[in-house]
Structure formats: structure tokens, C-alpha cells
Amino acid sequence: MADRLARPRHLSVKRVISKSTRSVAGQVLIFQVALVVLLVACGVFALILQSERDSAAEARRRSTAVAQTFAHSPGVLAALRAPDPSRILQPLTEEARRSAGVDFIVVMDTNGIRYTHPLPDRIGKQFVGEIAPSLEGKVFVESVDGPLGREVQATVPIKNAGDEVVGLVSAGMKVKNVEGQLHRQLPIILGAGAGALALSTGVTALAGRRLRRQTHSLAPDEMTLMYEHHDTVLHSVREGVLIVAADGRLMLANDEARRLLELPPDAEGRLVSELPGLHPETRALLASGREATDEVHIAGERLLAINQRPTEHRGGTRDTVVTLRDSTELQAVTGRAEVARERLGLLYDAGLHIGTTLDVLRTADELARVPVPRFADFVTVDLADTVLHGDEPAPAATDMRRAAVCGIQDDHPLSEQGRLFDYVPSTPQARGYGSGHSQLVSDLPSATGWRLQDPERAQAIIDFGIHSLITAPIRARGVVLGMASFWRGRQHEPFNEEDLSLAEELVARAAISIDNARRYTREHALAVTLQQSLLPQAMPEQNALDIAYRYLPAQAGVGGDWFDVIPMPGSRVALAVGDVVGHGLHAAATMGRLRTAVHNFSALDLPPDELLSHLDDLVGKIDQNETAETAAGVVGATCLYGIYDPVTRRYVVARAGHLVPALVHPDGSVTFPEVPAGPPLGLGGMPFQTAELCLAEGTQLVLYTDGLIEDRTRDLDVGMELLRDALTGHPGRPPEETCQDVLDNLLPGRPKDDVALLVARTRELPPDRVADWDVPPDPAAVSGMREAVSQRLDAWGLSEFGFAMELILSELITNAIRYGAGPIHVRLIRDRTLICEVADGSSTSPHLRYAATTDEGGRGLFLVSQMAERWGTRYTPQGKVIWAEQALPEVMQQPVPGPADADTLLEGETADP
């Protein structure tokens, strides 16, 4: 047994113990290395001290030699006796300093006043140092803090022929320059020390290596420990260990290896090929000596994971170390873990890929695609038809729409997407829908209830190879929205109870997303319906403008953009466009409130600036009344409101934080008029101002919201220029084509924000359809006006309206003469209606009264209201205008063609007179 244990001691334990510092070889090596390091360090330190001392001595010697040489130089005594010694000596000292390699040479008088210095500003100042010894004729060397820093200097006397001291010379070097010489020597010193250390350490290592081979790096206690560990491996480790020699003999087998392989007691020393009970594949692996990692082999009823690695002994022989591990239970656990991992991965993917949008059909399609092919071969999703429209589902499985179908093949016999079903009660879908519980059909060919829905299709499904089914209710918030069916064919085993729980988990994750999409669909439909009901359904009939419009909702849903065309008295037309910040029901509802308010204020015939002021007050009150819990406020709403008069071709406009309109002139040029910018609605504090524009007939007014020109990828100015380019150069283009071309050029795709676009081409009411008179403030003038009006109506072919119009004018002119102020002006307009207007300089408003039987007056306006279709009052800067309208037959309501319509008239046709 001792022999067997001695052989493998070089396998692994030797490598560990050979590095131990407790061996003799290790301790000697450490001692020798420490001694060498100490000796080298001492030698380096001594060299540094010696170099430092030599450098200092050299500096003193050089300074003394330079000072003495200069003191005895010819011409020094003559220069000292000169009127300006510095002029002579300064160049000499500098030249001598550079050639001698010192930092300074200073010549001074006997009082220590400098004649020379490397720093010229120090000339004439007191020498820094001791001069008394030098005045006595001695050479004095010292270290001082001079003008150049810390200095080593030697001072030498200058004597005349009578041996009398007449001056002094001091030469020296800066201490840092002296130390610099030492520093330049340090690399050499340290390099020599490092070389000596490396050489000594190498020799020591060679000696230690020889000693280690001789002692095997082992100590007695380590030998004991090695055998104790070896015994533990043999008898205590719960993993089999084998050592097989290069010739195929089994050299070592621990107790666990004997148990796992059921080896006989005399197995060690025998050839592996002769051992009984080994599986042939296992025997071949052990005999081959090749590397193996976790190879699974059969040993009786066990599954063994075998690892095999070759190793080499000290003598050069090649053995093999084998480890065995019982993986029978591990394989079973691993299989179950792999299944669980796949299911968790499927659920994880479902969480990532189901519910990426708020679209019901898209979410159903995602539910159908995720399980294929990992869980099912085919998946169908049937939803209640009402769910697709955002409504609550029906209580029974009727009117079920196939929302999605997906499978591993496209030629499957399952019903196509979009088909409507009324599931019979015997089908798993109907049972699951009614009970809210999943249904498992493990053997479809033997089941009968599901065949009753469609026997021919059921047989085709069976013939196709589909053999099992799970149908799970799509249940969210206590309501069943539909059914998801999972079908398996030949590629999978039939569904079981564990598969049923996984299907329910998959459907449960998707159900919330489908319900969220359903709720969003309902809210979106409500918002769209609300917005469409609040926007103009059709353009009103009027002759002042040719109108075309476009409204495009944003990708995020409905918003607060709106527009309106409002007929006004006197053939005028009001154009409005606005924008409420935000999207959704709140923005749409706010837009409706603002549009209604504009209609109401325009009925009062207010100027644009006054209308915006009233609208601003209204928005401010809305913000005050709405709390943060119920609404987000309306701050940020904008509006542009203008009135066009076809008689005068005047366009009066004001804006509240909105973009300026674009004008396309008859020549095709485009301008953006200067309209004073007011603050957005709801801010208050700033009055609104109007701009009055005179427009040529055929001019196109282009009103729009910011969604048309603003974009994250471009600036506002860029969008304005794009709009200008889209409008320029098309003078005769109809408004409908203008709308479409603008959208095609500026919005090639679906916009990210709402877009409202309104294009209106102006018309001018011909002068022959307008008659006006100035009326003197005399009751006798009323009869003359009746006659003039009667003649005008006869000229227009409207004689049948003469009596009513004469009565209306008589009452209005009489009221203006009696209660108003001059000047009084009458205007008669023939448009879609017959309009008469009486203007005066008074701002008092008449009121309709119901006179009593005994009253002599108060019946005038009552008669006007009975005879006229409509009547009212509007105020002007000069006073007021009372107007009344009478309806005309439809044949007399046609507009007069403008210049843009001239080409459309057929030859020989004429406009309506």
C-alpha cells in the first residue's frame, strides 16, 4: 500500500509543497536573497554619499580656482581704477563665467559694493556674504542664500603691486546645480546596484534550485500531511478517482470509484480491459487515455459523468487521472429544470412582445405568434365582435370574430382570420367562454363535442395531424373577452395538465393588454365621434368665398385643432381657426366649447379684437372653475378670427397666439401679412389688435394650425418657407387642389400633431348689386327713399319684394331720423338674400317692443321683424347699422362668377344678372 501511495505523490501535492517556504531550500533561498539585497543597498548608499561629498568638494575647488584666476587676470587692476569699472568688468566676468562653468563671478570694491553680477539689476548693491577674511588677504569659501538662490561661493582678494587689497572677486555655483551633478550620477549608481542584485539573486536561485532537487522540498511534517490528504481522497471523497498507467493498468481506485463501477478487490494492478462489469464504452474510454469532459456513460442502472485528463510523472511516464460522478438524479432534475427554463423563457418573451401597442388586433396577433412553435403548432384568437369596437363583450360565445391565427404552416385547415363564429354549446370554446375556465382536449380524434361546430372542417383538422387542443378564456377584470386556442400536431406530444397552466399564464398576461387596447379603442372612438360632431359637418352657403378645408388627426389620437366658416350680416363671412394644446377627450371637449363660444360671440357681430377679448375671458373662467383633479386647464389655446366683406373687399383679422395667415395673390405670389400678435387665450392682461387688409378678388386666404408647419426635425421658419413654396406660382389653382398640394408637400405621412387647414378664395360683390344713398335728417325724405328703392328693385327684377322692403326701410329710416344722429346712410345689397342697411351716427340700440292697444308708437321694429327673414344691429366706429334680410328664391341666389371662374363659362352663357 505504501508503494502505491508513493507513486502519485508527484501528481499534484508535489507542485503545491515545492513552493512552500517551510522547506530547507526555501528558507535558505530567502536568507540568501535578503543578504544580497542588504549588501547591495549598503553599497549603493555608500556610493551616493561618496558622490555627494565629491560633488561638493569639486564645487568649492572650482569656485576658488575661478575666483583666483580672475583676480590675477591682466587688466583687472586697471579696470578697478577706471571711472566706470562695471562697463569694463561686466562683459569680462560673463564671458569668464560661461567658459569656466560657474554660475556667477562678482567683482566688488572693498566695501562689498558689486561692480558685476549675472543679474544686472544687482550691480551697485551690497554683496551677500562674508568679506572680512578676504580683506585680510585670505581666500574664504562659504554657502549663502544669494540672489540666485542657495549658493556655494569663494571670495578672493585683488591686490595691487604694493600687496594692498583694492577689490574682491567672488565666484560660485548654485547648490541645485551641484546636486544636479549628483542626480546625473544616480542612474549609473542605481543601475550598477541593480545589476549586482540581479546577478547575486540569480546565483542564489541556482543554488536554491539544486538544493530543492536534492531535498524534494519536503519536510517531515509535510510528508505526514501529504499522506493524510491522500488517505482522505481514497476513503472520504464522494467522487470516484482512478489513476490509469500508460500501459492501461489500473494503479489507483478510491472507495467511491469501486462502488460506482462495482470493481473487485484485486482491481488495482490489473489491465482495465480485463476488469469485469465495465460497460464497453466506459472500458474503451479508460483504456484510450484521451481527454474527456463530463461524458455520460452507463454503469449498471447509473449514469456516470466521466472526466479524464492525462498527466506526466517526474520520470517522463504518461498516466491518466479519471474522476467519476453519479449524475442519475442530476439528469432527471436537469430535464425538469430545462423544461421550466423554457417555460420561463416563453413567459418572458410574452411579457416583452405582447401588448406593444394599444391596438386590439395587433395585440391578438402578438398573442398568437409568441407560443409558435415552442409551445403550440397553431394558435387562434377569437374575440367577441363588440370587443373589437371597444364595447363590452356578450355573455355567450356568439358573434365571435377570429382576430388572429398563426402556425408553423400557412396551408392549415383552421378557419381564416376575420371569420365570425357562433360557437355551439358543446365546443370547448363555448364551455370555456361560459364558465371562465380553460378546457383541455388531449385527444381530438376521439372527442365528439367540438365536431358539431363544423364536421367537415373538424375532419380536415384531424387529417392534417392536429391531435390535441387547449382553449383558454381571455379574462380581464372579471370579464371574458374571447378565447385563445392552442393546437398541437405531430411535432409535439399531446397537451397535459402542466401545459394547461402554462397556457392560462400566457393568456392571462395578454388579457390585460387586450382589455387595455379595447378601452383605448372605446375612448378613441368616443373622442373621434365627439370631435367630428364638434367640427363643421358642411360649409355654409355663402357667395363671398370659395371654401376648401382639410382636417387630419394626429397619430396620438384626436386633438383640439378646429376651424369654422360663419356667415355674417351684410354678405360678410367670418373665418376662424384655433388650436387647443393636448390630445384626447379633454382637448376635444374644450375645442367644442371654444367653437360654440365663437359662434355665440359672432352672432353679436363683434369686431375680431372684441370677440377674442370675450373669448379670452371665457377661457380664464373655465380655468378657474376646473380643478386640477378634473381637468388640466385650457391655457395654451390659440385662435385666429377674421371677417371678410365682399362689398369692400376688406378683411379684418386678429389673432391670439396663433400663426399668421398666408395670402396667395392673383399673380401667384405669397405673403404673410403683419397681424399684431396677441397672447394665447386664458392669459389675459393684454388687449388684442386688428389688422385690416384690402384683398384683390381671387386672393386665397390660407389659415392653418401649427401642426402643418411645426415638426421636431425642422424649425418653424423652415416650415413657413415650405408652405410658401407649396403655395407660390399657382394663381388660378382651386382651393381644393391647394389644400391637397399643401398637405402632399408638407405632410407626406401621418402627422404627429393635429392639422387644420382652411383655404378661402375671395369674391367681390359687383357694384351693380349694391345701391346706397345718403338720407337727410328730414321725415319728408322717407317717401323719396321708398321711390328710389322701388326703382332699384325693379331694375333687379325684384318688384315683388318692393312692398315689404319699402315698409322695412320706412320704419328703419324713420327711427334713425327720430332717435339717431346724422349722418344717415342707406345701403341695399342683392346677394343670396336681399339686404337693407340703415346706418346713423348714434350708438343707442333699438329694442323690439310689444305695444299695447292704446299705444300710439312702438310697433315699428315689430313690423320689421315680421316682414324680414332676419334683422339685427351691429356697431361701427362711426355709430351703428340696423340691417334686415329678405329671402330670395333659389334661382336668384347664384353667385356672380369671379375672374377665376371665367374660363369655366361656356361660350354664349352669361352670369345671372
Confidence of residue 328 (pLDDT cuts 50, 70, 90): low
User: Residue 161: its pLDDT value, please?
Assistant: 78
User: Residue 334: its pLDDT value, please?
Assistant: 55
User: Residue 380: its pLDDT value, please?
Assistant: 94
Confidence of residue 653 (pLDDT cuts 50, 70, 90): very high
| Three-state DSSP class for residue 693 | strand
Average pLDDT rounded to a whole number, residues 844-867: 60
Give the separation between CA 616 and CA 602, rounded to whole angstroms: 14
Q: What is the pLDDT of residues 515-533, one digit of tens each?
A: 888 888 887 777 777 767 6
Strands 638-645 and 400-407: unpaired
DSSP string over 459-470: HHHHHHT--EEE
More confident residue, 300 or 487: 487
Average pLDDT rounded to a whole number, residues 65-81: 82
Q: What are phi and psi of 555, to 5 degrees?
A: -60, -35
**Neighbouring C-alpha atoms within 13 Å toward the C-beta of 93:** 30
- Residue 495 CA to its chain's centroid (Å): 44
661, 706, 652, 656: which is closest to 678 by C-alpha? 656
Residue type at 752 in one-letter notation: K
Average pLDDT rounded to a whole number, residues 489-504: 86
More confident residue, 325 or 891: 325
Average pLDDT rounded to a whole number, residues 66-71: 81
Average pLDDT rounded to a whole number, residues 874-884: 83
Report whether pLDDT(819) > 60: yes
Report whether pLDDT(660) > 90: yes
More confident residue, 202 or 737: 737
CB atoms within 10 A of CB 120: 11
Average pLDDT rounded to a whole number, residues 367-388: 90
Convert 647-674 to b/e letters by CB count within 10 Å (16 or more is b).
bebebbbbbbbbbbbbbbebeeebeeee
Report whether pLDDT(160) > 70: yes
875, 873, 816, 876: which is closest to 848 by C-alpha? 873
Q: What is the pLDDT of residues 446-463, one digit of tens each?
A: 988 888 888 999 999 999
User: Residue 7: its pLDDT value, please?
Assistant: 43
User: Residue 6: its pLDDT value, please?
Assistant: 40
User: Residue 255: its pLDDT value, please?
Assistant: 82
Average pLDDT rounded to a whole number, residues 434-441: 90
Residue type at 535 in one-letter notation: L
More confident residue, 897 or 908: 897
User: Residue 584: its pLDDT value, please?
Assistant: 67
CB atoms within 10 A of CB 837: 20
Q: Which long-range contacts (CB under 8 A, 24 or more apart) does 860-868 make?
A: 860/811, 860/814, 860/815, 861/811, 861/815, 863/807, 863/808, 863/811, 864/808, 864/811, 864/812, 867/804, 867/807, 867/808, 868/804, 868/808
Segment among 553-562, 715-724, 811-820, 855-864 with least mean pLDDT: 855-864
User: Residue 291: its pLDDT value, please?
Assistant: 84
Q: What is the pLDDT of residues 675-714, one digit of tens each?
A: 998 888 888 778 889 999 999 999 999 999 888 888 777 7
435 CB-near residues (< 8 Å, 6+ apart): none
Are the C-beta atoms of residues 216 and 17 closer than 8 Å to each other? no
592 CB-near residues (< 8 Å, 6+ apart): 530, 531, 533, 534
Convert 702-715 to b/e letters by CB count within 10 Å (16 or more is b).
bbbbbbbbbbeeee
User: Residue 911: its pLDDT value, please?
Assistant: 36
Average pLDDT rounded to a whole number, residues 266-289: 82
For 80, 123, 273, the CA distances from 87, given in Å and listed in that order, are 11, 11, 111
User: Residue 58: its pLDDT value, please?
Assistant: 73
Q: What is the pLDDT of residues 637-649, one digit of tens each?
A: 899 999 999 988 9
Q: Is 682 exposed, middle or buried (0-12, 13-18, 19+ CB in 10 A)?
A: buried
Confidence of residue 608 (pLDDT cuts 50, 70, 90): very high
Are the C-beta atoms of residues 411 and 460 closer than 8 Å to each other? no
User: Residue 127: its pLDDT value, please?
Assistant: 85
- Polymer length of the chain: 913
Confidence of residue 98 (pLDDT cuts 50, 70, 90): confident
473 CB-near residues (< 8 Å, 6+ apart): 432, 433, 436, 437, 438, 480, 482, 483, 507
- Residue 397: all three cell numbers together: 360565445
- For CA atoms 298, 301, 304, 310, the dihedral sign is negative
Question: Which single residue is written with the C-alpha cell 397552466?
Answer: 501
543 CB-near residues (< 8 Å, 6+ apart): 571, 646, 763, 765, 831, 832, 893, 895, 896
Confidence of residue 2 (pLDDT cuts 50, 70, 90): very low
- Residue 418: all three cell numbers together: 376575420
- Residue 644: all three cell numbers together: 371678410
Q: Is the peptide bond before 676 cis (omega within 30 degrees of 0)?
A: no
**Which of 35-39, 697-701, 854-858 has the highest mean predicted lDDT (pLDDT)?**
697-701
Report whether pLDDT(405) > 60: yes
- Residue 211 CA to its chain's centroid (Å): 70
User: Residue 859: its pLDDT value, please?
Assistant: 58
What percent of the chain has pLDDT above 90?
14
Fill in the DSSP letter of residue 324.
E
**Which of 134-143, 255-264, 496-505 has the highest mean predicted lDDT (pLDDT)?**
496-505
Confidence of residue 635 (pLDDT cuts 50, 70, 90): low
Rg (CA), the chain: 56
User: Residue 670: its pLDDT value, please?
Assistant: 92
Report whether pLDDT(428) > 70: yes
Give the separation between CA 105 and CA 411, rounded to whole angstroms: 108
Segment among 189-193, 435-439, 616-620, 790-794 with least mean pLDDT: 189-193
- Looking at every residue in the chain, the average pLDDT score rounds to 79
Confidence of residue 910 (pLDDT cuts 50, 70, 90): very low
CB atoms within 10 A of CB 878: 13
User: Residue 104: its pLDDT value, please?
Assistant: 84
Report whether pLDDT(853) > 60: no
What percent of the chain has pLDDT above 70?
80
Torsion of CA 828, 829, 834, 835, to 10 degrees: -70
Give the separation between CA 380 and CA 407, rounded to whole angstroms: 9
Give the separation between CA 113 and CA 66, rounded to whole angstroms: 20
